[in-house]
Structure 1
Amino acid sequence: MAGRLLLVWLLSLAGLDVQASVRQAPEPELRALLQRTVAEADSFQDRFEAQVWLLDMSTRLTPYIADPQQRLELLRLVHREASKAGLRPELVLALIHTESHFDRFAISSAGAQGMMQVMPFWKAELGRPQDNLTDNATNLRYGCTILSFYLRKENGNLSRALARYNGSLGRQAYPTKVIGFWYDFWYVKP
C-alpha cells in the first residue's frame, strides 16, 4: 500500500492523471530497470531517495529521451557526477537542457561537444586526447568539474559561474535561460 501511495504522489507531482495511472501497474520491465538503476546508484543517501528522484526526473526527461533505460542511465550518471562536483543534479539537468536538449552528439558552432557542450581544448589541457566528449560519462565529468570550478571562482555566484561556463561573462541571457529551466522545469526543493 505504501508503494502505491508513493506512486500516486509521484505521478501527481508529474502532473499525470493519477486515477488512470494507478489502475495500470508499471510495466514489469520498467520496474526491474528502475530496481537495477537504484541498486547501481551510489551517489544517493538511501534507496528511497534514489527511487523518488529517479522516477521524478525520468518522468520529466521523457520528452527528450524516449527510452526508459537510457533515461535512467543518464540520470544515474548526472546524479553521480554532479554530486562528486558538489553541484545540484537538477542544475546540471537544466544546463544540459539549455546546451544540447539532451543530444549527446550535439556540436556547437564554436566546436563544443556533447550534452554539456564541453570545448575539445580541455582534452589537450588535461593530456587526454583519447577522451570522447560524446560519451555521456566523460562529458558529464568534464562539464560538472568545469562548472564547479567556476562556481568556486565566483564565490557561489551562480549567474557569473554559468556565464563563465558559456563564455559569456558580462551578459545575462545564458545564465537566465539555465536558471529559468532549473526553476521552471527541473527544480526540486532540498
Structure 2
Amino acid sequence: MADSIRLALSRAIADPRPPKPDFSHIEDRIRYLHWLGEMSSRLAKRIPDYQTRIELLETIWYESKRAGLDTAMVMGLMQVESGFRKYATSTAGARGYMQVMPFWSRTIGDGDATKLFQMQTNLRYGCSILRLYLDMEKGDLFLALGRYNGSRGRPEYPNAVLSNWKNWEYKNRNG
C-alpha cells in the first residue's frame, strides 16, 4: 500500500470526534430521528437491548455519512459479514460488526487489534476501508465489495450485500 494511502487512512481512523450528528436544518434532524426509530424497530430482534441498538445505529449513521457511504448499504454489509454481532470472528480472523482484518490495525492504526471489537473503531475502520476500495475501483461497488471481502471477481459476496441492502433502505414517509 502506498504511503500516501496509508497516511490518509491513518488520519481518517484517528479522528477523535464522537459519532454525534450535527444538523444545520431542523428538517434534517427530524428525518434522522425518523430513520433512527425505523431502523431501531427493524433491528430489535437482532439486538434486543435498546441502548446498545441506538448506539450502534447512531454510529452506523455517523461513520457511513463520514465516509460518503449509504447507510443501508453499510447495514447490508454488516448483516452479511457479522449478522450484527459485535464479537463475530471469521475463520480468517476478521473481527467485529464489519469483519475487519487485524492487519489493518497494524497498517493504519496503533497495532491493537483488540480494538476492532469496539463499536466505533470497527465501523470507522470498515467504512474507511470500503471508501478506499470504492475510490480504487472508481465507484464500482461490485468490485469494491469483492475487494472488501477478499473475493474480488466472484459474484456471491457482492450479490449478498446488494440483496441485504434492500432490507435496510429507508423511505421517508414524512416528507
Of the two, which has the highest radius of gyration? 1
Change (3 A) 1:119 1:43: farther
Equivalent position of 1:42 in the other structure: 21
Change (3 A) 1:176 1:43: farther
**Percent of paired sites with the same residue:** 46
* Among candidates 84, 90, 95, match of residue 102 of structure 1: 84
Root-mean-square deviation over aligned CA pairs: 1.6
Q: Return 5+ residue gaps in structure 2 as ranges.
A: 1-18
Cα drift, residue 90 of structure 1: 1.1
Contact 1:112 1:118 in 2 (8 A): yes
Normalising by structure 2, report the TM-score: 0.81
SS state of the match for residue 50, structure 1?
helix
In the aligned structure 2, how far is the partner of 1:88 from the partner of 1:174? 18
* Among candidates 142, 148, 165, match of residue 159 of structure 1: 142
Q: Is 1:172 the counterpart of 2:155 in the alignment? A: yes
Displaced runs of 4 or more, over 4 A: none
SS state of the match for residue 161, structure 1?
helix
In the aligned structure 2, how far is the partner of 1:127 from the partner of 1:162? 22
Q: Return 5+ residue gaps in structure 1 as ranges.
A: 1-39
Query: Structure 2 counterpart of 1:163, which letter?
Result: G
Q: Is 1:86 the counterpart of 2:68 in the alignment? A: yes
Q: Please give the per-residue CA displacement for 1:69-118, whole angstroms capped at 9, x wherever unaligned.
A: 11110000001100110001111111000000011101100000001000
Normalising by structure 1, report the TM-score: 0.75
Q: Is 1:124 the counterpart of 2:122 in the alignment? A: no
Question: Aligned residues, how many?
Answer: 150
Cα drift, residue 47 of structure 1: 2.0
Cα drift, residue 153 of structure 1: 1.1
Q: Please give the per-residue CA displacement for 1:122-153, whole angstroms capped at 9, x wherever unaligned.
A: 11112511351000100000000000111111
In the aligned structure 2, how far is the partner of 1:135 from the partner of 1:84? 18
Equivalent position of 1:138 in the other structure: 121
Change (3 A) 1:71 1:83: same
Change (3 A) 1:125 1:84: same
In the aligned structure 2, how far is the partner of 1:41 from the partner of 1:51? 12
SS state of the match for residue 123, structure 1?
helix
